[in-house]
Amino acid sequence: MSDPSSSDAVKSAGWLGRLTAGLRKSSAKLTGGIGDLFTKRKLDGAALEELEELLITSDLGTAMAARLTANLAKTRFGKDVTSEEIRTAFAADIETTLTPVAVPLEIDAGKKPFVILVVGVNGAGKTTTIGKMAKQFRDEGRSVTLAAGDTFRAAAVEQLKVWGQRAGVPVIARETGADAAGLAYDALNEAKGRGDDILMVDTAGRLQNKDALMDELAKVVRVMGKQDETAPHAVLLVLDATVGQNAHSQVEVFRDVSGVTGLVMTKLDGTAKGGVVIALAERFGLPVHYLGVGEGVDDLRPFTAEGFAKGLLGLS
Which one of 156, 223, 280, 309 is in contact with another protein (CB under 8 A)?
A: 156
Which one of 272, 279, 288, 297 is in contact with another protein (CB under 8 A)?
A: 272
Three-state secondary structure call for residue 17: helix
Within 8 A by CB and 6+ apart from 308, the residues are 23, 94, 98, 102, 277, 291
Does 271 bind another protein (CB under 8 A)? Our answer is: yes
Cβ proximity of 297 and 14 under 8 Å: no
Does 219 bind another protein (CB under 8 A)? Our answer is: no
Three-state secondary structure call for residue 183: helix
Consecutive H or E run containing 264 = strand 262-266
How far is the C-alpha of 217 from the C-alpha of 204, rounded, in Å? 9
Pairing of strands 114-119, 80-81: unpaired
- Of 39-47, 119-127, 278-286, 305-313, the segment contacting another protein by CB under 8 A is 119-127
Does 25 bind another protein (CB under 8 A)? Our answer is: yes
How far is the C-alpha of 55 from the C-alpha of 191, rounded, in Å? 46
- Of 19-27, 83-91, 109-117, 255-263, the segment contacting another protein by CB under 8 A is 19-27
Site string for another protein, 283-302 (x = CB under 8 A): ------------x-------
Which one of 80, 155, 222, 230 is in contact with another protein (CB under 8 A)?
A: 155
Pairing of strands 171-172, 288-292: unpaired
Within 8 A by CB and 6+ apart from 295, the residues are 128
Which one of 124, 214, 237, 288 is in contact with another protein (CB under 8 A)?
A: 124
How far are the Cα atoms of 52, 69, 70, 303, 304 from residue 63, in angstroms, in the given order? 10, 10, 10, 23, 23
- Of 3-11, 132-140, 149-157, 185-193, the segment contacting another protein by CB under 8 A is 149-157
Minimum CB separation of residue 270 from another protein in Å reads: 3
Which one of 106, 108, 211, 256 is in contact with another protein (CB under 8 A)?
A: 211
Minimum CB separation of residue 255 from another protein in Å reads: 15
Minimum CB separation of residue 269 from another protein in Å reads: 6
How far is the C-alpha of 192 from the C-alpha of 189, rounded, in Å? 5
Beta-carbon-side half-sphere exposure of residue 4 (alpha carbons within 13 Å)? 1
Query: Which of 29, 194 has the CB closer to another protein?
Result: 29
How far is the C-alpha of 149 from the C-alpha of 182, rounded, in Å? 9
Which one of 35, 225, 259, 270 is in contact with another protein (CB under 8 A)?
A: 270
Does 19 bind another protein (CB under 8 A)? Our answer is: no
Three-state secondary structure call for residue 79: coil
Minimum CB separation of residue 207 from another protein in Å reads: 4
Contacts with another protein, residue ranges (CB under 8 A)? 21-22, 25-26, 29, 53, 56-59, 61-62, 121-125, 128, 152-156, 158-159, 161-163, 176, 207-211, 240-246, 249, 267, 269-273, 276, 295
